[in-house]
Structure 1
Amino acid sequence: MQEKIVLYKKVADDVLAMLQQAHRVVQFDDINADNRAAFMAELQDAAGLIGASVKIDASVLDHAPRLKAISTISVGIDQFDPADLSKRGIVLLNTPDVLTETTADTGFALILATARRVVELADYVRQGRWTHSIGEDCFGTDVQGKTLGIVGMGRIGGAIARRASLGFGMPVLYNNRRPDPAAEKAYGARFCSLDTLLQSADFVCVTVPLTPETHGMIGAQELAQMRPGAILVNISRGSIIDETALISALENGRLRGAGLDVFEREPVAPDSRLLKMPNVVALPHIGSATHETRHGMAVCAAQNLLDALSGNATRNVVNPEVLTRLPT
């Protein structure tokens, strides 16, 4: 049976065609103040919803009484309340596997760029300051052989561990909800407490999902435990780290630098003190942002939604308890 789908993100033509072959699609390239009322009106008789980067909370869902499934073009689900969706009988699907390697590339790029001061020294050249052979004022710090601590050994954490261990000879420590025997066997990773990781690692990379438990998990107390001169990298969500505490740790020299793809508020304010620090590499949340990966995510999300609406969802389901209530 053909249903109505509301698409709230611009996607490639072939992805749109996938959806249109099976259902009626109403498309919004994005949601803003000018079209939000129209978006809400279209939800009234929609069975499926697909998109990204828009908060889908009770105020939105109350306008969607027939909604059966939401497919987010992302791995993160912090724009949703899965418990509320389950109460409403709405299945939530995401795209975890397709972006793993690309996001891990971003994480390791931040490790290298921060350690070797790549952005700062590229600006040094562009500004015409390279007038003689460089001295210690342009030196960075080694990555190879240093200890990497990974906070959250999920798919992305594991991909970073592989790059670190096999590519750069780095001992890997990790903190996770539970040990990961596969990572320990493949990469020699060692499970430890968060305190031990922070006290021992030269580089700390944050890859945990944002949940009520991980919100603010790296604050002033945790930053104070990090080794003097350590580097902090965050490719997860900005709210996992207390930015005010991070700024203090950078300004007082406790940390050598930080590589940040995410911030507490996005886009980050142009006057943020983080952006005034040469030892901070700041990116505009590009974790999975390559042509290939973003297209793959959209295809995955579209297929997830088609499967859910036909009663065949078997993968990438965030709240599987709802599946028994969907049509078969």
Structure 2
Amino acid sequence: MVARHGVGYDAVDVPALTERGIPLTVTPDANAACVAEHALMLMLNVARQTRYYDAAVRELRWSNPPVPDTFDLGGKTVLVMGFGRIGGRVARLCKAFDMRVLVRDPFIPQNTIKGAGFIPAKDLQAALAEADVVTLHLPSSEKTRGIVNGEFLASMKQGAVLINTARGTLVEEKALAGALTSGHLKAAGLDVFWEEPATADNPLLKLPNVVMTPHSAAATEQGLRRMALSCADSILSVFANKLDPDVVINQEVLRGNA
């Protein structure tokens, strides 16, 4: 078996594993809390210009009045793209900040989203035009790779913010750089990049209105421990013939071995 230390598996050749009858497991619950908190951290850093203020204080520049680009999260509309374990947590955190929460996930029943207290975004284009913040919580696949392209960005509200703590391959980075440079988007908060580690030719690295972290959203002390224990549990469960199907990506392997 292959136990993935995390939830992303876009770098794993799943068909090759399936062909050989090898299950691929992930750690779906282990990092949900820390990644969701990281997404909120990026939103707050963008909204409150933390990086600018920190640099100013270190240089003994006491900024008063405040930077005009700062804003409250409360009262803003956020579009949560993906309503899985992480997206669901992000939606709840945003609601706790008194944000209006739209949720886009065609695989989740609309009544489930409504029942959780959020607004289903049936029309993606309309939701993009309405949202002040768009936060991505989607897996990377053939259907989602490059989903945030020029058309997607052009549909976003003027002055909106993009947050990505999911996978870098969801976003066409040149198009995002263009939207940020032109001023169509106010800012972005990114934990992931198309190519990792990020390279010097990435245009996003030179933009002052981007807050970046090195794919570290899940890397808290507690998150790393939970992921390690989850991997170990999956490995032991395989040998005990008690593997939880919910942690297996290629579940057809389990049916074939039944």
Q: Distance in 2 between matches of 1:139 and 1:126?
A: 20
Q: Which residue matches 1:80?
A: 12
Report the CA distance between 1:200 and its aligned residue: 0.8
Report the CA distance between 1:269 and its aligned residue: 1.9
Q: TM-score, normalised by structure 2?
A: 0.93
C-alpha contact 1:172 1:189 (8 A) present in aligned 2: yes
Counting only pairs closer than 5 Å after superposition, residues 123-202 of structure 1 correspond to structure 2 as 123-130=55-62, 133-135=63-65, 137-165=67-95, 167-180=96-109, 181-202=111-132
Q: Distance in 1 between matches of 2:86 and 2:150?
A: 25
Partner deviation per Cα, 1:140-160 (whole Å, 9 max, x = no partner): 122111000011111111100
Report the CA distance between 1:88 and its aligned residue: 1.1
Partner deviation per Cα, 1:179-204 (whole Å, 9 max, x = no partner): 34333222233232321221110000
Gaps of 5+ in 1: 1-68
State whether structure 2 residue 228 is matched by structure 1 residue 278. no
Partner deviation per Cα, 1:41-80 (whole Å, 9 max, x = no partner): xxxxxxxxxxxxxxxxxxxxxxxxxxxx111111111121
Kindly tell me the number of residue pairs found equivalent between the two proteins. 256
Gaps of 5+ in 2: none
Report the CA distance between 1:271 and its aligned residue: 5.1
Q: Which residue matches 1:261?
A: 191
Report the CA distance between 1:139 and its aligned residue: 4.0
Q: Which residue matches 2:254?
A: 323
Q: Which residue matches 1:110?
A: 42
Report the CA distance between 1:325 and its aligned residue: 5.0
Matched to 1:196, the amino acid is A
SS in 1 for 2:116: helix
Do the aligned partners of residues 179 and 94 (structure 1) sit closer, same or farther apart at CA in structure 2, a change above 3 Å counting? closer
Q: Which residue matches 1:223?
A: 153
In the alignment, which of 165, 168, 187 is matched to residue 235 of structure 1?
Answer: 165
Counting only pairs closer than 5 Å after superposition, residues 28-47 of structure 1 correspond to structure 2 as none
Matched to 2:7, the amino acid is V
SS in 2 for 1:187: coil
Partner deviation per Cα, 1:118-165 (whole Å, 9 max, x = no partner): 1122122223333xx523645412211100001111111110000111
Q: Distance in 1 between matches of 2:18 and 2:166?
A: 25
Q: Distance in 1 between matches of 2:40 and 2:113?
A: 17
Q: Distance in 1 between matches of 2:249 and 2:100?
A: 33
Q: Distance in 2 between matches of 1:325 and 1:185?
A: 36
Q: TM-score, normalised by structure 1?
A: 0.74
Report the CA distance between 1:219 and its aligned residue: 0.4
Q: Distance in 2 between matches of 1:278 and 1:76?
A: 29
Report the CA distance between 1:324 and its aligned residue: 4.4
Matched to 2:188, the amino acid is A
C-alpha contact 1:161 1:187 (8 A) present in aligned 2: no
**More displaced 10-residue stretch of structure 1: 309-318 or 197-206:** 309-318
- Give the superposed CA RMSD: 1.7
Q: Which residue matches 1:119?
A: 51
C-alpha contact 2:103 2:113 (8 A) present in aligned 1: no
**More displaced 10-residue stretch of structure 1: 90-99 or 78-87:** 78-87
Q: Which has the higher contact order (CA 8 A, sep 6+)?
A: 2
State whether structure 2 residue 231 is matched by structure 1 residue 301. yes
Q: Which residue matches 2:182?
A: 252
Q: Distance in 1 between matches of 2:77 and 2:173?
A: 24
Q: Distance in 2 between matches of 1:191 and 1:248?
A: 26
Report the CA distance between 1:270 and its aligned residue: 3.9
Q: Distance in 2 between matches of 1:322 and 1:156?
A: 26
C-alpha contact 2:174 2:203 (8 A) present in aligned 1: no
Counting only pairs closer than 5 Å after superposition, residues 15-30 of structure 1 correspond to structure 2 as none
Matched to 1:197, the amino acid is A
